[in-house]
């Protein structure tokens, strides 16, 4: 098949997922055309069967805001004709599914089915802002097929937009051949003493991630056992959390590592992953942590209960309940044999339920269905 993939190129779960999906589809013999405003950061070298088309947005003094949605629509239409694409797979509804809808109108003489994959914040935060509500609902309804990355997101989308349209669930995935616990001689020692536990948090440092809770849980853990915290990522709450850490005297115990391309290495030296988000449609980092044998303590919200097995591969606690999160973290870190069990179960659970090959086959099935309609 010849597949157009529209995604955000930057760091973030939806862009990573879309890029890894495209790479795997290309390996399976499909021709994949990425269309975005920048080269997806995981497309770092030449790949057979993969093309990248950059969306150029013209700069003109009259335009306070560059017309990206139109530029993307034109590019999708152009590439669809030029490469004779069979279908368009849009990741993240806003504004991608609207641009894909416009592109479809532009190439009226050609069949161009659109699959929209909803990732979470396109619906839960952005999609129901009053000014985006109608257009997001419209673009979902006009897509030929819609998938969501968890049942929780499917239900929430159906409810928020009062949809009759069926939404399918196709979970996010991990590649266990890539994501597994690596031996990283010397790396752990750079961040922690042998007796210290290493806790990790990875995110885009947005308010939804509740960074203060990450630090509060860590602070409670540290009162009981020697530990260090790795903060991986960056974003709008970065400065505030730095200040908070300084104000409670923890700056010597926290490492800020910024955005990292290879979190596998950092996960491989970590003992526990904290994800106390307000909301999380899936929580890709929790899956990646489990694949690397790291138990996860997270909020019992959104799609996280579909990814983490409470009491088996980690623990789920109410949003904001930092005391209980710390208690469970200490339990897994201090109980003889429990960490090993959870780590092992996490790796198995990730590989058995979210294996890249299995999920990519599900997408291929949906593509075939779109082409046969």
Q: Does 9 bind ligand GMT (CB under 6 A)?
A: no
Round to whole Å and give the CA distance between 130 and 67: 21
In the complex, minimum distance from the CB of residue 206 to ligand GMT, in angstroms, rounded to a whole number: 6
Q: Contact between 291 and ligand GMT (CB under 6 A)?
A: no
147 binds ligand GMT (CB under 6 A): no
Answer yes or no: are the C-beta atoms of 86 and 120 closer than 8 Å: no
Q: Is residue 313 involved in binding ligand GMT (CB under 6 A)? A: no
**32 makes contact with ligand GMT (CB under 6 A):** no
Residue in the structure block whose two tokens are 């908070």: 244
Question: Which stretches of 178-269 are DSSP H helices?
Answer: 211-224, 238-247, 263-268
Is residue 200 helix, strand or coil?
strand
Nearer to ligand GMT among residue 297 and residue 333 (C-beta)? 297
Instruction: Select the span of 117-125, 180-188, 216-224, 266-274 touching ligand GMT (CB under 6 A).
Output: 117-125
How far from chain centre, in Å, is Cα 165? 24
Give the number of residues in contact with ligand GMT, rule: CB under 6 A: 18
Neighbours of 189 (CB within 10 A): 11
Q: Does 14 bind ligand GMT (CB under 6 A)?
A: yes
Select the residue interacting with ligand GMT from 40, 283, 314, 346 (CB under 6 A): 283
What does the per-residue mask of binding to ligand GMT show for 157-186, with x meaning CB under 6 A? Answer: ---------------x--------------
Instruction: Determine the distance from the C-alpha atom of residue 232 to the mean position of all C-alpha atoms in its chain, rounded to a whole number.
Output: 14
Q: Name which of 13 and 276 has its Cβ closer to ligand GMT.
A: 13
Q: Are 188 and 216 in contact (CB under 8 A)?
A: no
Which of 300, 291, 299 has the alpha carbon at shortest distance from 353? 291
Rule CB under 6 A: say whether 282 interacts with ligand GMT: yes
The residues, ordered by sequence, that sit 6+ positions from 254 with a Cβ below 8 Å of its Cβ are 215, 218, 228, 229, 231, 245
| Closest distance to ligand GMT from the beta carbon of 62 (Å) | 31
Distance CA 242, CA 263 (A): 21
Q: Does 284 bind ligand GMT (CB under 6 A)?
A: yes
Stretch that binds ligand GMT, among 9-17, 108-116, 140-148, 157-165 (CB under 6 A): 9-17
350 makes contact with ligand GMT (CB under 6 A) = no
92 binds ligand GMT (CB under 6 A): yes
Interface with ligand GMT (CB under 6 A), residue from 140, 149, 317, 366: 149
Q: How far is the CB of 114 from ligand GMT (least distance, A)?
A: 18
| DSSP-derived secondary structure for 183-196 | --TTTGGGT--TTS
The least CB distance from residue 330 to ligand GMT, in Å, is 26
Which residues within the stretch 192-211 sit at the binding site for ligand GMT (CB under 6 A)?
204, 208
Other C-beta atoms closer than 10 Å to the C-beta of 198 total 18
CB 124 within 8 A of CB 141: no
- Answer for which of 9, 12, 233, 346 binds ligand GMT (CB under 6 A) is 12
Phi and psi at residue 366, to the nearest 5°: -65, -40
Phi/psi at 362 (nearest 5 deg)? -65, -40
* Other CB atoms within 10 Å distance of the CB of residue 369: 14
Q: Does 281 bind ligand GMT (CB under 6 A)?
A: yes
Query: Taking CB under 6 A as the rule, does residue 280 contact ligand GMT?
Result: yes
Residues of the shown chain interacting with ligand GMT in the complex, contacts defined by CB under 6 A: 12-14, 17, 92, 119-121, 149, 172, 204, 208, 279-284
């Amino acid at each position: 098949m010849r597949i157009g993939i529209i995604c955000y190129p930057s760091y973030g779960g939806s862009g990573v997922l879309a890029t890894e999906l495209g790479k795997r589809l290309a390996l399976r013999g499909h021709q994949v055309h990425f269309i975005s405003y920048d080269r997806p950061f995981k497309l770092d070298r030449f790949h057979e069967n993969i093309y990248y088309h950059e969306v150029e947005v013209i700069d003109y003094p009259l335009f306070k805001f560059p017309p990206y949605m139109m530029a993307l629509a034109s590019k999708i239409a152009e590439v669809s004709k030029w490469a004779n694409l069979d279908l368009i797979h849009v990741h993240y509804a806003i504004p991608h599914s609207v641009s894909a809808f416009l592109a479809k109108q532009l190439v009226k003489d050609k069949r161009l089915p659109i699959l929209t994959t909803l990732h979470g914040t396109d619906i839960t935060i952005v999609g129901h802002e009053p000014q985006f509500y109608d257009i997001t609902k419209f673009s979902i309804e006009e897509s030929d097929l819609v998938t969501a990355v968890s049942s929780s997101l499917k239900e929430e989308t159906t409810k928020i937009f009062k949809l009759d349209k069926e939404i399918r669930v196709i979970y996010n995935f991990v590649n266990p051949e890539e994501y597994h616990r690596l031996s990283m001689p010397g790396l752990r020692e750079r961040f922690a003493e042998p007796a210290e536990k290493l806790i990790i948090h990875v995110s885009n440092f947005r308010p939804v991630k509740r960074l203060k809770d990450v630090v509060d849980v860590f602070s409670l853990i540290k009162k009981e056992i020697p530990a260090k915290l790795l903060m991986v990522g960056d974003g709008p709450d970065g400065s505030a959390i730095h200040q908070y850490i300084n104000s409670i005297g923890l700056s010597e115990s926290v490492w800020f590592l910024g955005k990292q391309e290879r979190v596998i290495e950092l996960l491989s030296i970590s003992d526990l992953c904290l994800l106390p988000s307000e909301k999380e449609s899936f929580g890709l980092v929790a899956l990646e942590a489990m694949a690397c044998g790291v138990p996860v303590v997270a909020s019992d919200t959104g799609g996280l209960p579909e990814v983490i097995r409470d009491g088996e591969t980690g623990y789920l606690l109410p949003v904001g309940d930092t005391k209980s999160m710390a208690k469970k973290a200490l339990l897994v870190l201090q109980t003889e044999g429990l960490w090993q069990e959870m780590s092992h179960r996490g790796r198995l659970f990730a590989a058995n339920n979210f294996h890249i090959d299995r999920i990519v086959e599900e997408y291929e099935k949906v593509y075939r269905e779109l082409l046969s309609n």
